[in-house]
Amino acid sequence: MNAIVLVRHAETDLAGKFCGRADPGLNVAGERQLPFLVEELAAFEIGHIYSSDLRRASQTATAIGERIRVRVEFRPGLREMDFGEWEGLTWGEVEQKYPEEAQLWVSARRARSAPGGESYQDFIARVEAEFKQLLLENETTPSAVVTHRGVIEYALTRYFGFSEPDAWRRTENYGAIVVGTPIERLMG
C-alpha cells in the first residue's frame, strides 16, 4: 500500500471560525503559505492529487498540481462537515447565540449536529465512501489528498492508526502535511 500525503488547505479569512460549506478563497496569509507548501510537496513522488472542490482546498491543490505537473481531481466527498447556522462563527459566538446546542454538542459531538448542519453520521458516511475509493485508487502510485481538518482528522484515526489527540495536533495548522500509509486491517 502506497503512502498518502494528507494536506490541509492554506488559510482563509474564516480562520478560527466554523467553516464547512462556506466557500472562501485563500487570504493573504494563505497565499503566502502556498510557495512553501508547494515546494515541500514537490519532494514527494505524487502521481495523483485529489481535492475537495471548495475554493480554499481547490486553490491549494491547483498550486501543488501546477508545480509538480499532476492533474487535480476535485471530489465533493472531501468537503468539510457542514456546520449549518454556525458557519462563520467563532466558538465564543456559538456559545453566546446557541448556549444549549453548544453544551449538547460538546457533550455528544458525534450524536449532535449544529443547527441546520450535517450530522456526524452523514459526514462520516460521505468521508468513508470517498476514502475507500481513494485507497483502492492508491494501490500503485502515491497520492496527495488536499482537504479540510475534519476530514483529515477522521482519516488519520480511521485509516492510519493515529490517536484522536495526535490527529488533532497534526492538523492544527493551515497547510499541515501528514504522510501516512493506510493500515490494511482498518480498511475493511
Nearest by Cα to 127 from 152, 110, 162, 160: 152
HEC profile of 23-68 = CCCECHHHHHHHHHHHHHHHCCCCCEEEECCCHHHHHHHHHHHHHH
Q: Which residues are catalytic?
A: 9, 80
Band (139; pLDDT cuts 50, 70, 90): low
- The domain spans of the chain are 4-82+118-186
Angle between helices 120-137 and 149-159 (to 10 degrees): 70
Is residue 48 predicted with pLDDT exceeding 80? Answer: yes
Q: What pLDDT score was predicted for residue 34?
A: 96
Per the confidence metrics, is the pTM higher than 0.85? yes
| Nearest-angstrom CA–CA distance, 114 and 123 | 12
Task: Give the cell for residue 160.
Answer: 492510519
Residue pLDDT, tens place only, 54-90? 999 999 999 999 999 999 999 999 999 999 999 999 9
Pick the CATH number of 4-82+118-186 from 3.65.10.10, 3.30.565.10, 3.40.50.1240, 3.30.1490.190: 3.40.50.1240
